[in-house]
Chain A
Amino acid sequence: MKRMLPVVMCCILLLSAATAMAAAPIRIGALFSVTGPASFLGEPEKNTLEMLVKEINAKGGIKGSKIELMVYDTQGDATKAKQLATKLIKNDKVVAIIGPSTTGDTMAIIDDAEKAGIPLVSCAAGIKITEPVKKWVFKTPANDHVAAEKILNYAKQQGQKKIALLTVSDAFGSSGREQLKQLAARKGFSIVADEVYSPKDTDMTAQLTKIRGVKPDAIICWGTNPGPAAVTKNVKQLGIKIPLYMSHGVASKKYIELAGADAAEGVMLPAGKLAVYDKLKKNDPQAKVLKTYDQDYKKAYGVEASTFGGYAYDAFQLIVGAIRKGGAAPDQIRNGIEQTKKMVGVSGVFTMSPTDHNGLDLSAFEMVKVSKGDWVIIK
Chain B
Amino acid sequence: MELHQQILQYLLSGFSTGAIYALIGFGFAIIYNATTIINFAQGEFVMLGGMLSYFFLSVVHLPLPAAVVLAVLATTAVGIAFERLAIRPLKNATPLSLVIITIGGSILIRGLTMLIWGKDTHALPSFSGSEPIDIGGATILPQNLWIFGITIVIIVVNKLFFNYSITGKAMRACATNRRAASLVGIDVRRMVLFSFVISSAMGSMAGIIIAPLTMTAYDVGIMLGLKGFCAAIIGGLSSGFGTVLGGLLLGVLESLGAGLISSGYKDAIAFVILLLILFIRPQGLFKKADSERV
Contact = CB atoms under 8 A, between A and B. Distances in A.
Given A201-B266, A203-B13, A206-B258, A257 B132 contact: no
A258 B119 contact: no
A33 to B, nearest CB: 12
Nearest to B8: A209
B6 A229 contact: no
B132 A239 contact: yes
A43 B1 CA distance: 45
A237 interface: yes
B139 interface: yes
Interface of B: 1, 3, 6, 9-10, 13-14, 16-17, 119-123, 130, 132, 134, 139-141, 210, 213-215, 217, 219-220, 222-223, 254-256, 258-260, 263-264, 266-267
Given A206-B259, A239-B139, A258-B123, A169 B215 contact: no
A198 B266 contact: yes
Contacts of B16: 203
A73 to B, nearest CB: 14
Contacts of A229: 121, 123, 215
B214 A203 contact: yes
B130 A260 contact: yes
Contact of B1 (A202, A212, A237): A212
Given A230-B214, A258-B215, A206 B121 contact: no
Contacts of A202: 17, 210, 213-215, 220
B227 to A, nearest CB: 10
Contact of B220 (A198, A200, A254, A257): A200
Contact of B121 (A195, A237, A258, A262): A258
Contact of A225 (B121, B139, B214): B121
Main secondary structure of the interface of B (DSSP, over half): helix
A205 B9 contact: yes
Contacts, number: 99
A206, A210, A213, most chain B CB atoms within 10 A: A206
Contact of A196 (B14, B123, B219, B263): B263
A234 to B, nearest CB: 9
Contacts of B256: 206
A138 B139 CA distance: 48
B139 A197 contact: no
A226 interface: yes
Contact of B119 (A39, A195, A262): A39
B141 A237 contact: yes
Interface string A202-237: 111111011011000000000001100110010011
Contacts of A154: none
Contacts of B213: 202-203, 230, 233
Interface of A: 39-40, 43, 169, 195-198, 200-207, 209-210, 212-213, 225-226, 229-230, 233, 236-239, 254, 257-260, 262-263
Contacts of A259: 123
B130 A263 contact: yes
26 contacts: A196-B264, A197-B263, A197-B266, A198-B266, A198-B267, A200-B219, A202-B17, A202-B210, A202-B213, A202-B220, A204-B263, A206-B254, A206-B263, A206-B266, A207-B258, A209-B1, A209-B259, A210-B260, A212-B1, A225-B121, A229-B215, A237-B130, A238-B132, A238-B139, A254-B120, A257-B123
Nearest to A226: B121
Contacts of A239: 132, 134, 139
Given A230-B214, A257-B123, A205 B13 contact: yes
Contact of B139 (A43, A204, A237): A237
A169 B263 CA distance: 10
Contacts of B13: 203, 205-206, 209
Nearest to B13: A205
Contacts of B214: 202-203, 230
Nearest to B141: A237
A198 B16 CA distance: 18
A235 to B, nearest CB: 10
B139 A195 contact: no
A98 B4 CA distance: 54
B45 to A, nearest CB: 17
Nearest to B12: A205
Contacts of B120: 254
A230 B84 CA distance: 38
B249 to A, nearest CB: 15
B255 A206 contact: yes
A204 B260 CA distance: 13
Contact of B264 (A43, A169, A212, A225): A169
A238 B9 contact: yes
B132 A200 contact: no
Contacts of B267: 198
A213 B6 CA distance: 8
Contacts of A200: 219-220, 222-223
A236 B6 contact: no
Given A202-B213, A233-B213, A209 B9 contact: yes
